[in-house]
Structure formats: structure tokens, C-alpha cells
Structure 1
């Protein structure tokens, strides 16, 4: 697979959960921090998102917003003072039981309560809210570089595939048609891919309507920050990364990757290390272990098979490298994941 697909696939576990929030009048809802990633799609009306420690962000119908690090936040009909934010109602009070697909559209919200009491009168706002489960021990550094709030306004016209996914998702949720139990989670997965892609594709001339990527919510101007947008935009580094991700089991060397990229060994090492944060062989070793961890959790393949799939000649060689990085053996890692336990995180490449 390509780097972006691999980065998302490595960290994602299970299927996203979704639910619908339909409110009217004066309202505010508190969403606590989450050990995963959250998202909202505005299906009707508009609202404000107030992230913990960030600036308020105005959302309109058709907007999509991703909180890739599970940042706590408040959704509200209008910007709130600090005292009002602290009195926002837990979002669970306004939602039905979580599920893979929201139920039929509810009536105009009678349970939409705000800090000063509820009113069902006034403009209606409807959102699709959801969460992605993440396995942090396998987080790719590209995903770590995503901003706390990634916003794609409906006015953005440079990413038609993302806009199409939002429109399809909204149509499926509102219509509640046969097959929605499969369609909605699949579209939600597409939404994650397209939002990350939109962030990576932002250029130096990006304007304020491009996906927000600043340290504060709502900062949308300027290029995507971090090493990985630059790494994937560099023809030499991106070619070496593509080779590693296409065939991690191959007996790669720095010379082999340099030849694939069409440059000298020294040039590849210098550019790769500057943009990725570590030399090519160190990144290859880390990615092999990350793939091994994914295979241990998601397959029943014996260790010998997994070792071959990630470029190790024997289970012993894989076990030694795996234990050095994860602090546990492959067998214990697999057993802990099967039991739902959380292993100690180890650092990903910078």
C-alpha cells in the first residue's frame, strides 16, 4: 500500500461508531477528550465548535471536522463565555445509544438543553458525530503530525472527492435506507482518508478556506505543517518511502533504495533523514515492526509466517527486534491484544 493508506490502516482498529445529534434553539453539548479520534459532519444548520485550549470554530451545513487526537470540545448554537462552556451538557444526554448507523431522523429536538435551559424553538442543527478507535502503539508519525482540529468547510472546491463523501454520507444518514449499516461506516472510513489527504495536499498558497491546520482551531491559512507533508512531496524521499511500503519484506539496503530513487546513497540518506527524522534503514526497521504488530493483532498467522512477511528470516530474529522496540515478546503482545489489554507504548519515529 501507499504511505497514507498504511499510516491509517496501522492505527485504526474496529469500525467507527456514529450517532446523530439533532438540536434546536439555545443549546450546548460537551464532548470529553477521547483516546481515539472524533469527527463531526454538519447535516443541517450550523453551530460552533470550541476545542479545549483552542479558538472557536464556526461550522456550517456540509462542513466536516476531524479531531484526530481526541481533543475535548464543546458544540454550541453560538460562541459561549467560559462560565457557559463549563455548564455545557454532556453530549450523551442528547444522543440515543451509539451504533454503527443512526436510527431514523428524530423529531425536532425536545431534549436539547443548554447552559441556561432548553428551548426547542429556533433554527435546527443536525450533525453526524462519531469516533474512530485507534491503536496508539502503532501510530505512524504522519498521524501524529495532524493538527488538533482539521476542518474542511463546505465552500472548499479543491477536494471534490471529500465533498462527494460528505454528501453521500449525509444522504445515507437522512434517508435511513437498506444497506446503511454497511454504507455509513464505509463512508466514514473514506471521510478519514479524504481529510488526511486534503491536509497533505495543501500547498504554500492555501487560503483561509483550506482545512485548518494551525496550533489553534480555525487557523486555516498556510501550508500543512510538519515533516511528513514535505517528505511525501519530495520526489526522492517519497520514492524511497513508496518502495519500503510496497514491499517491506524485500532485502532493502540504503544503496538499493538510493538506486530506486535515482540518487546517490549520500543524497538519499541526507534528504530522508532531514524530512523523515531518521535514516532509511532505521525507518524500514520501525515499519517492519509496526506491520508485524498489526499482523499479530489482526491475523492468526504463526510467527514464522509473519517474520517472512516483514523481512525477517527466522521467528527468533523477529522476536528479538520486536521485543527491543515494544518491550514485550510477539506472543505476549498478541495475547494482550486478544484480551483487550493495552501494552506499553513505545515511541514512533519523529
Structure 2
């Protein structure tokens, strides 16, 4: 099971966005709570990540902020509260050359239903870390290519940008997997692997607990602690995430997709999908394949 590839597939929908943000002044900026998965990479200057009630985190060139839940957060010159930061003013045009206090690159995918993908729910909504660029020079190469694309957009830039943002998120998830391993948890990893590889099977909590080598109650407690979701809720989420991916990436009829992910009829799949995504599968598929020019 390649959880990272499956996670990327579950968020690769809608219009990818990326831009360079610069800031000069005594404060910083606040980014709104928007349902998305994305990142910021500090490329120059120093600042502080401000997020809710968490302590401010120092940011230096090369540091990465990963946003897994679309929560309100900010980047400030000095430690402060979110309320003290002015909202960011976005522009379609790249920033003009000018003195700045800090500068960072952003890349993001919208979450159409406003919820984290199942495989990311064990992660904090927003976090910062310092990558090991000497150990992973390919990450530095991706950052450099993104920076050049944001500054000197040309023919094919939209396709290149989407690919680079995908690649950046892959490297971020690889790094985070070392710190917050999901499938590495003894027993829980076996249950997750079974759900991901066989979503159509009519799993019960008892069956998954047996795979994990735990009692039903112990398995439920541990699974929920590790993933942030109860076992049956995670199974439903993964089935619908998989269904959404199949709608986007294949031309299979609803009946075939429903059976592949564990729904006996297309009507049951449609009802569950509408509850989750707010629109029926057919409309979702049509919206997902409509060409859109990336920012």
C-alpha cells in the first residue's frame, strides 16, 4: 500500500493554486480558514508561524509549513496573536521587486467537501519543520523550480506548477511520515492496509481488531487515537475518497465504482456521496474533469 500516492490522489481535485507572497512592514499577515491541503516554504527573511492557541514557531529560510486542515494561521515578524495580524491581500500578479522582511512560496489544493482526507487526520492542522536539504537535495531542487515558475511563468506553466506542487507535497508527506508514521503502528498498520487494499469487503470492527491482534474495544480505542477517526468512520471515509478518485480518473459507470468500494447499489453510493460531498457523483465527475487554468 502506497499511502502517500493514495493521499495525493485523494486531494488532487479542483484548481491547484500557487503563488509567491512577500511581506514588508511591522506586523505580518493572516491567512483565512480555507478548506485546503497545502504548504508554505520560507525562501528569505525570518518570521514566526502563528496558529490559534499554539505557541509561535520561529521560521527561517528553507523552513516548511504544512497545512493539512485549512485552519486560520499567519506569518508574523514577531511573536503575537492571530488577531493582531492583518488579513493577507492576494493578487493575481507576481509581487514587484521590492525590499521585504520575509518571502515565502505557497501551493495548495482545495478540499471540495471541506474535510481532511482520511489518511491525514492523524496530523496537526498546521505545522512547521526544517527539512534535511543536505540529505534530500531533490527537495531543494523542487523548491527552486517552484520559485522560478512563480517568478517567470511561461507557456506550459500551469501544467508544470501542478506537477511541482504534487511533488512538493509528496516530499513533505515523506518527511512527516518519518515523524508521524501511520501504517507503522503495530497492528493498526495491518488494519489500515486491509481497509485500503480491500475497501469493498464488508469489514466489521471485530474482523479488523482480529487482524490487529487486539480485542474489539482495545482496537477501537487505539485506532481512533492513531487516525483521529473511529474504524467504521475511517472505512466509510476511505470508500468515499476512493470513489471520488475513481470518478475523477476513470470513466467507469457508477454501478462498477459502487461495487469496487463496497456499496451494493449505485443508489446507496449516490446517497452516501451526496452526504459527504454535497453533490451527486455525476455532477462531481463533470466538475472534476472541467479544464481550469491554475493560478
Pick the TM interval, shorter chain.
0.7 to 0.9
Aligned counterparts of 2:160 and 2:46: Cα–Cα separation in 1: 25
Please, which of 227, 252, 267 is the counterpart of residue 301 of structure 1?
A: 252
Q: Secondary structure in 1 aligned to 2:79? A: coil
Aligned counterparts of 2:237 and 2:171: Cα–Cα separation in 1: 26
Q: 1:203-250 deviations in whole A, cap 9, x for unaligned?
A: xxxxxxxxxxxxxxxxxxxxx3xxxx3x5104654345335434545x
- Tell me the equivalent position of 2:91: 96
Aligned counterparts of 2:123 and 2:256: Cα–Cα separation in 1: 34
- Tell me the equivalent position of 1:135: 112
- Tell me the equivalent position of 2:15: 15
- Larger radius of gyration, structure 1 or 2? 1
Please, which of 163, 173, 179 is the counterpart of residue 150 of structure 2?
A: 173
The alpha-carbon deviation at position 32 of structure 1 amounts to 1.8
Residue ranges of structure 2 left out of the alignment (5+ in a row) = 288-295
Do structure 1's residue 195 and structure 2's residue 172 form an aligned pair? yes
Q: 1:296-317 deviations in whole A, cap 9, x for unaligned?
A: 46655322221343355x5x3x
- Tell me the equivalent position of 1:48: 48
Q: Number of matched residues? A: 280
The alpha-carbon deviation at position 131 of structure 1 amounts to 3.3
- Tell me the equivalent position of 1:36: 36
Aligned counterparts of 1:197 and 1:10: Cα–Cα separation in 2: 16
Quick one: structure 1 residues 139 and 54, their matched pair in 2 at CA, closer, same or farther if it must change by over 3 Å?
A: closer
The alpha-carbon deviation at position 192 of structure 1 amounts to 2.0
Q: Secondary structure in 2 aligned to 1:14? A: coil
- Tell me the equivalent position of 1:145: 122
Aligned counterparts of 1:169 and 1:142: Cα–Cα separation in 2: 26
Residue ranges of structure 1 left out of the alignment (5+ in a row) = 109-119, 203-223, 341-350
- Tell me the equivalent position of 1:182: 159
Aligned counterparts of 1:273 and 1:51: Cα–Cα separation in 2: 30
- Tell me the equivalent position of 2:72: 72
Instruction: Kindly indicate whether the alpha-carbon contact (under 8 Å) linking 2:274 and 2:280 is maintained by their aligned counterparts in 1.
Output: no
Query: Aligned-pair RMSD on alpha carbons?
Result: 4.0
- Tell me the equivalent position of 2:192: 241
Instruction: Kindly indicate whether the alpha-carbon contact (under 8 Å) linking 2:32 and 2:73 is maintained by their aligned counterparts in 1.
Output: yes
Q: Secondary structure in 1 aligned to 2:119? A: helix
Q: Secondary structure in 2 aligned to 1:74? A: strand
Stretch deviating more after TM superposition (4-13 or 294-303): 294-303
Q: 1:140-187 deviations in whole A, cap 9, x for unaligned?
A: 333122113221225665555544433432344345465433222222
Instruction: Kindly indicate whether the alpha-carbon contact (under 8 Å) linking 1:19 and 1:96 is maintained by their aligned counterparts in 2.
Output: no
TM-score with structure 1 length normalisation?
A: 0.63
